[in-house]
């Protein structure tokens, strides 16, 4: 039998099994709940079909109705939800980035472990690379702490070839030289994980304005809960300094892109920084970038409520530092036009952007003639443009109850000023409420992944 026939048969088997599983689930619901069960099943199917309450976000740019039901571009009778045990895939592993360094160059060795998940039938020519954030490894994309399949399986089920990485210095990418291990930053204490990530709604933590809306983390979010313990046990220390992590990650991801070809980059937290850095050196190999709660805000440190700093300019819990993201969205140079000197960051100032839904709350943007005062012949600066990142579309995803709800808007304003095509998805605008920073691990992570899939298809089609 031809290989194509075998792959098609396997795809049909995968989806037949999924259909049977979903049917059995619906039948069980009918038997248990009668008419109410039938209504719940219908509601569940409406949700799983990607028809989310809330419609399009106000002012959202890009292709028309990209949030519409994607069943029209899928094969007939394909259930939207992946099987409860995850999708079928062929898993292979390899490494990129090992170079014998000269003179103990800190960035010489950027070895990176890569897992490839090959779906039963590859529908899209573009691959997806999933990039983890601080203290995580690539494992975080495979299985959620509650035991459910993660985003790697979701995108596999949608027909994407998925690559999951352990960034240099994390997990199985640990071929570091002694001189590279300058620091060791242990994972945050369990109390801080509860306070900022998994149990932010507890009133005694006194979080940001939307913290008490957080209700999508499975379990209590507290120490002793099995889901919390599983998540906390997955965290690893960071062994190298931030700038070195960014340089090594950029080189390794660039090498991976050159090996596998055009891809969609999806990064979470500092993984979004890595995605932008990789896209900057290989713009022709990056179709789009999805930044899930990216590290920010540009040029600032975010301070907790009531926090204070010893230096810099404090603006609505944002503190300007000349050593924090001095290149805007990264701590190492990016390709700007006009170019920047390698040892000098952007010239930034606090600005309240016109048209922002944050009123007069300022964010850090580049100097430009419109912002300068007093006006005069020297006030002729124009914002530098991220000329390589302008070549692809960008999506920023923010959870309603996350700390990022207070500053992701500032990251979007900065990206727009540098000339990028950016869409900012606030999940509550699409009927997905109560998500925290770890939204890709939470109870409605499937619906969020479907939102990302729909956006990617609107940008690239079935390609």
Assess whether pLDDT exceeds 90 at residue 421: yes
Phi/psi region, residue 118 (left: phi>0; alpha: psi -120 to 50; beta: rest), is beta
- Give me the helix-helix angle, 270-281 and 242-260, nearest 10°: 50
What kind and span of H or E run contains 111? none
Report which of 450, 463, 367 is spatially closest to residue 66, judged by C-alpha positions: 450
Return the number of other C-beta atoms located less than 10 Å from residue 185's C-beta.
13
Q: Determine phi and psi for 331, rounding to 5 degrees.
A: -100, 0
- Neighbour-count burial for 107-121, b at 16+ CB within 10 Å, e otherwise: bbbbbbbbbbbbbbb
Give the model confidence (pLDDT) of 312-359 as tens digits. 333 344 455 556 788 999 999 999 999 888 777 787 777 776 555 554
Distance CA(172)–CA(94), nearest Å, equals 11
Closest CA to 231 of 41, 29, 437: 437
Q: Which region holds residue 336: left if phi is over 0, alpha if psi is between -120 and 50, else beta?
A: beta
Q: Can you give the pLDDT at residue 97?
A: 87
Rounded to an integer, what distance in angstroms lies between the CA atom of residue 117 and that of residue 93? 9
d(CA 221, CA 198): 5
Q: With CA atoms as reference, report the closest residue to 154 among 6, 290, 295.
A: 290
- Phi, psi angles (nearest 5°) of residue 332: -125, 160
Specify the pairing of strand 394-398 against strand 385-386: unpaired
In angstroms and rounded to an integer, the radius of gyration of the C-alpha atoms of the chain is 22
297: tokens are 């805000």
**Residue 66: per-residue pLDDT:** 54
Q: Do 431 and 57 form a contact (C-beta atoms < 8 A)?
A: no
Higher pLDDT, 216 or 77: 216
237 or 348: which leads in pLDDT: 237
The predicted pLDDT at position 374 comes to 45
All domains in the chain, ordered by first residue? 3-73 (no CATH), 89-184+233-460 (3.40.50.1820)
User: Which three-class secondary structure string do you get for 223-260?
Assistant: CCCHHHHHHHHCCCCECCCHHHHHHHHHHHHHHHHHHH
Q: What is the DSSP string of 334-380?
A: --EESPPPTT----EEEE--TT-TTTT--EEEE--TTT-SS-STT--
3-class DSSP assignment, residue 65: coil
Quote the tokens at residue 210: 């939307």
pLDDT of residue 31: 41
| Position with higher pLDDT, 345 vs 274 | 274
pLDDT of residue 454: 96
Dig out the tokens for 223 from the structure.
């120490």
CA-based nearest residue to 296, from 317, 280, 311, 313: 317
Q: Given a cut of 80, is residue 116 above it in pLDDT?
A: yes
Q: What is the pLDDT of residues 60-79, one digit of tens each?
A: 344 344 554 433 334 333 44
Secondary structure of residue 198 in the 3-state scheme: helix
- What average pLDDT does the structure give for the chain? 78
Q: In the chain, what percentage of residues exceed pLDDT 90?
A: 53
Whether 278 contacts 250, CB under 8 Å: yes
Residue 379 has pLDDT above 90, yes or no: no
pTM above 0.85, yes or no: no
DSSP bridge partners of 92: 116
Beta carbons within 8 Å of 368's beta carbon, 6+ residues apart:
381, 382, 383, 417
- The mean pLDDT of 211-229, rounded to a whole number, is 97
pLDDT at 223: 97
What's the rounded Cα separation, in Å, for the pair 297 and 408?
Answer: 7
């Amino acid at each position: 039998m031809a290989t194509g026939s075998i792959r098609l048969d396997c795809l049909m088997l995968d989806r037949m099994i999924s259909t049977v599983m979903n049917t059995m689930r619906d039948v069980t619901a009918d038997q248990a709940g009668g008419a109410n069960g039938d209504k719940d099943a219908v509601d569940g199917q409406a949700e799983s079909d990607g028809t989310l309450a809330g419609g399009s976000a106000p002012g959202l740019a890009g292709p028309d109705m990209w949030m519409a039901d994607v069943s029209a571009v899928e094969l007939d009778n394909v259930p939207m939800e992946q099987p409860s045990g995850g999708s079928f895939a062929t898993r292979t592993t390899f490494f990129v980035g090992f170079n014998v360094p000269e003179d103990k160059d800190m960035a010489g060795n950027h070895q990176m472990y890569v897992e490839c998940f090959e779906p039963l039938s590859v529908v899209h020519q573009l691959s997806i690379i999933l990039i983890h954030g601080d203290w995580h490894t690539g494992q975080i994309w495979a299985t959620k702490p509650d035991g459910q399949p993660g985003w790697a399986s979701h995108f596999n089920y949608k027909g994407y070839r998925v690559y999951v990485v352990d960034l240099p210095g994390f997990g199985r990418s640990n071929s570091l030289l002694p001189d590279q291990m300058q620091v060791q930053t242990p994972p945050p204490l369990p109390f801080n994980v509860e306070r900022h990530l998994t149990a932010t709604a507890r009133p005694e933590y006194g979080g940001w304005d939307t913290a008490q809306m957080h209700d999508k983390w499975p379990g209590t979010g507290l120490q002793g809960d099995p889901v919390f313990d599983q998540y906390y046990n997955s965290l690893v220390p960071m062994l190298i300094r931030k700038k070195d992590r960014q340089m090594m990650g950029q080189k390794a991801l660039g090498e991976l892109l050159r090996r596998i070809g055009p891809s969609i980059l999806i990064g979470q937290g500092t993984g979004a920084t890595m995605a932008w850095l990789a896209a900057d050196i290989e713009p022709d190999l990056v179709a789009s970038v999805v930044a899930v709660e990216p590290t920010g805000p540009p040029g600032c440190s975010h301070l907790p409520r009531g926090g204070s700093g010893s230096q810099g300019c404090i603006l609505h819990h944002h503190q300007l530092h000349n050593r924090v993201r001095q290149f805007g969205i990264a701590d190492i140079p990016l390709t700007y036009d006009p170019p920047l000197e390698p040892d000098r960051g952007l010239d930034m100032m606090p600005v309240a952007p016109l048209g922002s839904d944050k009123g007069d709350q300022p964010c850090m943007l580049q100097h430009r003639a419109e912002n300068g005062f007093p006006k005069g012949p020297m006030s002729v600066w124009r914002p530098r443009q991220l000329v390589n990142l302008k070549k692809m579309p960008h999506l920023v995803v923010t959870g309603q109850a996350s700390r990022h709800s207070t500053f992701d808007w500032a990251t979007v304003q900065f990206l727009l000023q540098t000339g990028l095509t950016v869409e900012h998805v606030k999940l509550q605008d699409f009927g997905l409420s109560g998500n925290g920073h770890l939204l890709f691990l939470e109870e409605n992570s499937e619906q969020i992944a479907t939102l990302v899939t729909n956006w990617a298809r609107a940008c690239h089609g079935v390609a």
